[in-house]
Structure 1
């Protein structure tokens, strides 16, 4: 899919092309696409994503309090209270699915989940507003971009076990929210200086890397070491 971008968003999107290629090749995503992902790995992914989204909602709420306009504040607040909450509800419903409910699930965030959430919340709370926007955007953009392709592939598979989850990321409302977040990134970049734009690019890359690591480590059932 071609995304409507301006100068800065195009710069950071193109700079992460290699990382996004690595994401596309991850076993979790290729197996999700064709419906062969083992149920216990899907449950692990959902459990970690649930932990992540609760922390992500807090990062968006922090960003809303620092936004320079009421429109931007409303956008981030809506993301925190509405879109993320709805996705958490969907995760709960899926985890209570009779096919998945009896499978063991993680009871705590993995090291990667905790590190990713910590980075996002730190950027949203303490870095310049523009840097916070760049930190939270990959969760929108990478998911929307990957999700469209996964949903299309899943639609070609009869009785795909994960079609409902994949369809959420191809939902027009989520796609529109992603476009809105990209616009806010470009607005923030236009309003700041070169040094801050460089910091924005750096944290965008870091968050994209964490997206890749999050999927990879969820597939591996990552746990804290026992000491």
Structure 2
């Protein structure tokens, strides 16, 4: 499918380097089962709770990056992104929680899986210790993949039936309103890439690639209901 939002040169380079891992998410059994509605509610519940845990760190990474922004507009955008990742997603999680039997306390009391914790640590560590463009590259794959995947699934399905058990999830991520968010994120990524040197850009591409791999691992940790026990 064609890209649903403009992709600046640096973002294109990032995605090209990570294209195999990016595409792997589209065919992961979790995603396939989610789209056709056959995914068990137990696995989806596990995924939703882990996703809520992940988004707390995504918000942290955005907030950290806001302190590295020199332009007040960029700073405000990142602060808003930190807030949106908690507020908007929280609504989806808690709405499903009413159906699947979990709440905010359940989320707070749940331990992140090994893959989830590794992904969170990657994002926050790069945001803290890396350059601004490295940190932004580390968080970009999450919204990019979900938005593109959501719109791909909508295009493939044609319409999302009201009876679909995961219709709210599919409708949220197929919403074209998110395109403006990605347009702004990738424009800022290009701006910061242009302000740095080739070596730092290479590190940023590597941070992006790692996050794309972690995205695949996130589907997998939910599909297998990963635990810390051997």
CA distance in 1, matches of 2:205, 2:68: 20
Secondary structure of the structure 2 residue equivalent to 1:37: coil
Cα distance change, pair 156–164 in 1 and its aligned pair in 2 (3 A) = closer
- 1:140-159 equivalent positions in 2, closer than 5 A: 140-152=143-155, 153=157, 155-157=159-161, 159=163
Cα distance change, pair 118–143 in 1 and its aligned pair in 2 (3 A) = same
Show the counterpart of 1:81: 83
- Please give the TM-score of this superposition, normalised by the length of structure 1: 0.92
Show the counterpart of 1:25: 27
Structure 2: runs of 5 or more not aligned? none
Q: Is the 8 A contact 1:33 1:154 kept in 2?
A: no
- 1:55-94 equivalent positions in 2, closer than 5 A: 55-94=57-96
Report the Cα offset of residue 6 of structure 1.
Answer: 2.1
CA distance in 1, matches of 2:119, 2:180: 24
Q: Does 1:175 align with 2:179?
A: yes
Q: Is the 8 A contact 2:63 2:78 kept in 1?
A: yes
CA distance in 2, matches of 1:132, 1:221: 29
CA distance in 1, matches of 2:97, 2:125: 30
Report the Cα offset of residue 173 of structure 1.
Answer: 3.0
- Please give the TM-score of this superposition, normalised by the length of structure 2: 0.91
CA distance in 2, matches of 1:44, 1:209: 20
Q: Is the 8 A contact 1:53 1:88 kept in 2?
A: no
Show the counterpart of 2:101: 101
- 1:203-222 equivalent positions in 2, closer than 5 A: 203-222=207-226
Runs of 4 or more, structure 1, over 6 Å off, are none
Count of aligned residue pairs for this structure pair: 224
Deviates most, 163-172 or 29-38: 163-172
- What's the Cα RMSD here? 2.0
